Amino acid sequence: MIFPCIDLMDGKVVQLVQGREKALEAEPAEAMLRRFARFPEIQVIDLDAAMGRGSNDDLVRMLAANAVTRVGGGVRSVERAQALIDQGARKVIVGTSAFTKAGVNQAFLEALRDAIGRDRLLIAVDSRAGRIVIRGWQESTAFAAEDVLGALESFCSGFLCTYVDKEGMMQGTDLDWFRRLRAATSLELTAAGGITTMEDVRALLAMNVHAALGMAIYTGRLPLSELVELC
């Protein structure tokens, strides 16, 4: 499966480099919906909510009402997750709050799973310099992604794993890292971060890993027509 990404900041569709520097502003969200209409599902991330500086709830609600969506950003409470489901999200992505400094935030994940159901929960496990990063990728933890996937499986239906080192840089991704992650879990696995060429996409799909695509689509590096055919 291929998921085109719509990342929201200040009411606009944007793309960032490594979660920090804004590289571009795209067409309005409505226009992006039309561009992505042939894909079965869209990934929506509210960057403002992820960074704790507001939200784009009206846009999230509009997108979720008009497409099948997996939505993340700022899911730090059961109420926030339930609100996204109520807005129409098919699945909710939780990242920062899935972890504590010591490891997995088991109590929170149990409450979240019980509230919305394991099938509707995805956990974001994002890595930079070999360690999981949280809080909008601004804070590093002490543990590696491949070491925690097994401990997280009982709470979710799959994982969104971003290779932050190359996110938005159009320099390719680390296929070996995704192979290690694929070997570490039997659950659904979605790759993001640095996916630049059709060869990257095909390699991920061949190892039974989905691809979430942002910068390479927005810059035209990956043609939508070829990606739709792969879907």
Neighbouring-strand partners of residue 92: 71, 121
Rama region for 141: left / alpha / beta (φ>0; ψ in -120 to 50; rest): beta
Structure tokens at 119: 């099938």
The confidence score (pLDDT) of residue 168 equals 59
pTM (predicted TM-score): 0.93
Q: Which residues pair with 211 in a beta bridge?
A: 2, 191
Residue with tokens 């993001």: 192
Which residue ranges in the chain fall short of pLDDT 50? none
pLDDT in tens, 155-175: 999 999 999 887 756 778 999
Q: What are phi and psi of 176, to 5 degrees?
A: -65, -40
Distance of CA 19 to the CA centre of its chain: 12
From the candidates 7, 46, 165, 200, give the one annotated as an active-site residue.
Answer: 7
Q: Which residue range forms the structural domain that includes residue 95?
A: 2-230
CATH number at residue 77: 3.20.20.70
Tokens of 150: 């097994």
| Structural domains in the chain (count) | 1
**Catalytic residue of the set 46, 48, 126, 200:** 126
pLDDT digits (tens, 9 = 90+) for 183-212: 999 999 999 999 999 999 999 999 999 999
Query: Which regions of the chain does DSSP assign to beta strands (E)?
Result: 2-9, 12-17, 21-25, 42-46, 69-72, 91-94, 99-100, 103-104, 121-124, 127-128, 131-134, 139-140, 158-162, 188-192, 210-213
Instruction: Determine whether 165 is an active site residue.
Output: no
7 catalytic residue (yes or no): yes
Residue 76: what pLDDT?
93
